[in-house]
Amino acid sequence: MKALGLLMMAVLSVGAGGCGSGSDAAGGGSLDSTQWKLTGWTISSLNPADFSITAKFSGGQISGHSGVNTYGGTYHLGTGGTFSTGPLACTEMAGPDAAMRAESAYFTLLAQVKTYTLTGSTLTLRDAGGNEVLIFDAGV
């Protein structure tokens, strides 16, 4: 179990991008004081809506529930809708196999995110190629 925790920390560190900021100077929209529930992603045969995967943004911090565990750390929004997270901390509880796989998929995708868009009540996070990787709906 300790090895899983270390692996998760390594995955979470991949997207490191500096100190958090709650708004995008280019007009991508502020994430500060918002909460989201994951409803879609681009990988895995698992439906993310079947798990409690959330993201809350407040004061340059991202936190939430990742399917089994809770997580938190910094995020940064830059010009042109850029998005990155700093190193994220995560509790190390075990859970059902499907929930653990969903959690692993979430962190893998989150580490790939480079940009974001807000459209109505939807937050879409995209990779370097502009592909949608994580899709959230407002509220939790």
Lowest mean per-residue pLDDT among 19-28, 38-47, 117-126, 130-139: 19-28
The sign one gets for the Cα dihedral 59, 61, 66, 68 is negative
Give the alpha-carbon dihedral of 62, 65, 67, 68, to 10 degrees: 120
- Cα–Cα distance between 44 and 135 in angstroms, integer? 14
Q: Which domain holds residue 96?
A: 2-138
Tally the domains of the chain. 1
- Cα–Cα distance between 109 and 118 in angstroms, integer? 18
**pLDDT at position 30:** 85
Residues 35-88: tens digit of each pLDDT = 999 999 988 789 998 999 999 999 999 999 999 999 999 999 998 899 999 999
CATH code of residue 14:
2.40.128.270
